Amino acid sequence: MGGLNTGYLSTNRGIIKVLQIICGFFTCGLLCTTAWGGRSCFYDGRVGFASSLNFVIVVINVVLFFLNLLNATIYRMERLYSVIGVILFIIAFGIMIWYLIEYEIGRNQLIGATVLIGVQMVLFIWDYQILHGQAFN
């Protein structure tokens, strides 16, 4: 642990974390607006899985953002987190596409949430590539 690392905000990883947090908040908002009939955002089912995953990932991203801003070096944990995040967001994206196709739902909130889950998936893949030396930071 060291001092405040303001340079983190100008790196690709810092920008990715900020974008993941912003997309995560918007996704939470879009998925929670589709909750009706007394159900919460985290009910059982496909949309509930995507919503719950997104909520947990947003909380973890906020914690990691502040840890990186405080110059903590936790690369091994972040590498594992990026692999798990890629896998879970690929599953969530596929589940949301499946849900939209199966029920032919034309709700713009679910379509927007699915697009944002796809964006987060791409951001996780990019973060994975940076952490594993396949892309430039």
> How do residues 81-130 score in pLDDT, each as one tens digit?
999 999 999 999 999 999 888 887 667 788 899 999 999 999 999 999 99
| In the block, residue with structure tokens 């964006």 | 119
Q: Is residue 74 part of a domain?
A: yes
pLDDT of residue 38: 55
Q: What is the tally of structural domains in the chain? A: 1
**Residue 137 within any structural domain of the chain:** no
> Does 55 fall in a domain?
yes
Q: How far apart (Å, rounded) are the C-alpha atoms in residues 102 and 8? A: 42
Q: Per the domain annotation, does 1 fall within a domain?
A: no
Determine, yes or no, domain membership for 76.
Answer: yes
State the average pLDDT over residues 3-19.
90
**Nearest Cα to 17, choosing from 84, 94, 52, 69?**
69
In this structure, are residues 126 and 135 in contact, taking their beta carbons and an 8 Å threshold? yes
Specify if 111 maps to a domain: yes
How far is 1 from 23, CA to CA, in rounded Å?
Answer: 28
Rounded-to-integer distance, Cα 105 and Cα 71, Å:
45
Say if 125 falls within a structural domain. yes
Q: Which domain holds residue 116?
A: 6-131
The answer to whether residue 2 scores a pLDDT higher than 80 is no
Encoded amino acid at 25, one letter = F
b/e code 5-38 from CB counts within 10 Å (16+ = b): eeebeeeebbebbebbbebbebbbebbeebeeee
Task: Say whether 18 sits in a helix, a strand or coil.
Answer: helix
CB 117 within 8 A of CB 54: yes
Mean pLDDT on 20-35: 87
Q: At 66, which amino acid appears?
A: F
